[in-house]
Amino acid sequence: MSEQNLATTEHLNNGVEMPRLGLGVWKTDNASAKQSVSEAIQHGYRMIDTAKQYGNETGVGEGIREGLEKSGLNRKDLFVTTKVFNGDQGYQSTLDAINGSLKRLQLTYIDLLLIRWPVDGKYIDTWKAMEQLYRQGKVRAIGISNFDVEHMQNLLDHADITPVVNQMEFHPLQQQKDVLKFAQHAGIQIEAWSPLGGGEVLDNPTLQKIADAHNKSVAQVIIRWDLQRNIITIPKSSHLERIQQNADVFDFELTDAEVETVNNLDEGKSSLWYDDFAWHNMQGEGIPDTVDTWYDSPEDYDK
């Protein structure tokens, strides 16, 4: 087993090195985000994933600042991802929106900027703006999230720069095989959001049997499976004990047979989705133009 740790990286198609395991903060309020990000950095995490939609960029920024101070690290030691909010999609609005994210995160650049959803009629213009931000050095890499094969192909037909990442719901019950195959052929790295797949996956008896064989938790087995499949993964937790447990996956390795057993659990089943999201919606109608949580109130969000 080759030596790996939280600093182990994946080589993206533009030459940037991205950590293979990081911390996600979806559905985490600002106070919790600050604490979990700070603690994660102090315990070895080098990648943090947030989004304006999550309403916690401010807390993440404070957590980054505190974590760096307490760990003695520098900004360059971290890899920070955020995403273009649905309501900000479009060329000029994307260019303008990056400044708000940088301010809330207290950063001068973003390591990875993603289109959060492929809003039809807007995502091509959004991508063109992101290409400009990349050329300006405000972001080190640009990618996409929740793009199926059709949307990836359409984007590639219009793009000057190939996305480095497609961040998708990916876990043992939803392995996105068509998306994964297309992305690998195009040189796009798949990154897993919701890698633990909710309660149904964590209660799976097949996974529990594998976990027992390694004296590990089911969550640790899933994260290890992601890493052995070369899937970048960002399990979310706001509890220090679980943050530490999720990172304790570098002292064991699944056998080829165990990896194949997990591969065979795929049902193409999404555990988390947005009922009001329409894949084909030229006007963006029905797509939320709000963030999920606020620091104190909406009026305070941009402060």
Beta bridge partners of 236: 24
Instruction: At 114, list the tokens.
Output: 């993603």
The Cα–Cα gap between 292 and 51 comes to 10
Q: Among all residues, which ones are annotated catalytic?
A: 54
Instruction: At 240, list the tokens.
Output: 């220090």
Angle at 143 between CA 50 and CA 99, to 5 degrees: 55
Write down how long the chain is. 303
The Cα–Cα gap between 134 and 172 comes to 33
The Cα–Cα gap between 50 and 70 comes to 21
The Cα–Cα gap between 209 and 206 comes to 5
Beta bridge partners of 11: 17
Instruction: At 300, list the tokens.
Output: 């305070």
Which residues neighbour 169 within 8 Å (Cβ) at sequence distance 6 or greater?
Answer: 146, 176, 192, 193, 194, 270, 271, 272, 273
The Cα–Cα gap between 195 and 19 comes to 16
Instruction: At 299, list the tokens.
Output: 């009026």
